[in-house]
Amino acid sequence: MPAPIIKIDSISKSFGSFKVLDGLSMDVMPGEKLALIGPSGSGKTTILRILMTLERIDDGHIQIDGEQLYHVERDGRLLPADERHLTRMRQKIGMVFQLFNLFPHKCVLDNVTLAPMLTKGMPRAAAEKRAMELLDMVGMADKAKAMPAQLSGGQKQRVAIARALALSPKIMLFDEVTSALDPELVEEVLNVMRRLADETDMTMLLVTHEMGFAHDFADRILFFDRGRIVEEGKPDEIFRRPKQERTQAFLKKII
Ligand code: ADP
């Protein structure tokens, strides 16, 4: 059995006096496609932001790809990680947000090439070649010179996916990537994610309210409520035969 690529061990996180996560543990296996579902405010996005080092944890440990995320081991001791370590760890992970977060004053191509050139020192020609392949994969190669303001929400989100892939991350995080889109634009983004899931062995974590998509996309569903995993299982188990009352009540409301 391979080791988990993400190992979350008893993490806690508070915002002020509000404890969002309280001793949460979970593992993700390499290549696994995981969907995090549950009511708003249950801590799902916070978990993705913690993995992306956009939020710090108050307690606990996280291992990614065999290395401590927030700590470095020195002389057998675990010390808080420095910025260089965090930057290196961050490159293992790509994240796509609810709101597109493209650089507004850069064209589509530059949005995708910037990080590999700046953080990996990739030469422009190589970065552009790779960017064009990725833009082709998300169906946006013909818009390489367009500015973000000229794109629809669905197109922006497809560029954001290409940009996150440009650093060849081992892990992709998707945070409600379709919830700000007009309904008719949702499918084009989900199609790109379906293809990614089918054609790559990347590990993917998805926070979503699209239950149909979560069912098709995920190998495993985690149902969260108040910062805890209430129930987990294969999509059919969770959606057709939920065991816990809270899962049943949530699914009844949302489907
Ligand atoms: P979910 O993704 O399940 O909807 P979140 O992880 O976004 O839940 O949020 C969990 C709780 O933490 C919510 O009550 C939210 O208001 C709160 N929260 C999240 N981020 C912050 C923050 N930066 N400052 C204060 N409260 C926050």
Write down how long the chain is: 255
Counting from 1 in the atom list of ligand 1, the atom nearest the Cα of 224 is 3
The pLDDT of residue 247 is 94
For the CA atoms of 161, 175, 167, 54, the dihedral, rounded to the nearest 10 degrees, stands at 140
Distance CA 134, CA 163 (A): 8
The pLDDT of residue 180 is 87
Q: How confident is the model at residue 101 (pLDDT cuts 50, 70, 90)?
A: confident
What sign results for the dihedral spanned by CA atoms 146, 137, 201, 46? positive
Q: Which two tokens stand for residue 62?
A: 């996280």
DSSP 3-state of 13 = strand
Measure 21 CA to ligand 1 centroid, in angstroms: 10
Q: Which two tokens stand for residue 146?
A: 């367009």
Burial 150-187 (b: 16+ CB within 10 A, else e): ebebbbbbbbbbbbbbbbebbbbbbbbbbeebeeebbe
Q: What are phi and psi of 138, to 5 degrees?
A: -95, 10
Q: Which residue would you say has higher pLDDT here, 135 or 81?
A: 135
- Provide CB contacts within 8 A for 252, sequence distance 6+: none
Residue to substitute in 17, 20, 99 for testing ligand 1 pocket (most ligand atoms within 8 angstroms of CB):
20
Provide the mean pLDDT of the chain: 93
Distance CA 130, CA 11 (A): 37
Q: How confident is the model at residue 182 (pLDDT cuts 50, 70, 90)?
A: confident
Confidence check: pLDDT of 104 > 90: yes
Distance CA 190, CA 195 (A): 9
Measure 44 CA to ligand 1 centroid, in angstroms: 8
Question: Among 4-13, 73-82, 199-208, where is mean pLDDT lowest?
Answer: 73-82
The pLDDT of residue 77 is 86
Average pLDDT over residues 222-229: 94
DSSP 3-state of 165 = helix
Counting from 1 in the atom list of ligand 1, the atom nearest the Cα of 47 is 6
- Provide CB contacts within 8 A for 214, sequence distance 6+: 35, 37, 206, 208, 221, 235
Counting from 1 in the atom list of ligand 1, the atom nearest the Cα of 16 is 25
Q: How confident is the model at residue 74 (pLDDT cuts 50, 70, 90)?
A: confident
The pTM score is: 0.93
Measure 130 CA to ligand 1 centroid, in angstroms: 35
Average pLDDT over residues 79-100: 89
Average pLDDT over residues 21-42: 95
Q: C-alpha angle 103/40/179, rounded to 5°?
A: 40
- Which residues are near ligand 1 (CB < 6 Å)? 15, 20, 38, 40-46, 207
The pLDDT of residue 130 is 96
Closest Cα to atom 20 of ligand 1: 46
Confidence check: pLDDT of 21 > 80: yes
Q: How confident is the model at residue 242 (pLDDT cuts 50, 70, 90)?
A: very high
Assembly ipTM:
0.96
Confidence check: pLDDT of 187 > 80: yes
Q: Which residue would you say has higher pLDDT here, 100 or 154?
A: 154
Residue to substitute in 15, 47, 208, 246 for testing ligand 1 pocket (most ligand atoms within 8 angstroms of CB):
15
- Is residue 157 a contact partner of residue 148, using CB atoms and an 8 Å limit? no
Confidence check: pLDDT of 100 > 80: no
Q: How confident is the model at residue 71 (pLDDT cuts 50, 70, 90)?
A: confident
Q: How confident is the model at residue 103 (pLDDT cuts 50, 70, 90)?
A: very high
Q: Please report, for residues 64, 165, 193, the alpha-carbon distance to residue 112 in angstroms, rounded to integers and kept in the order given.
A: 24, 9, 17
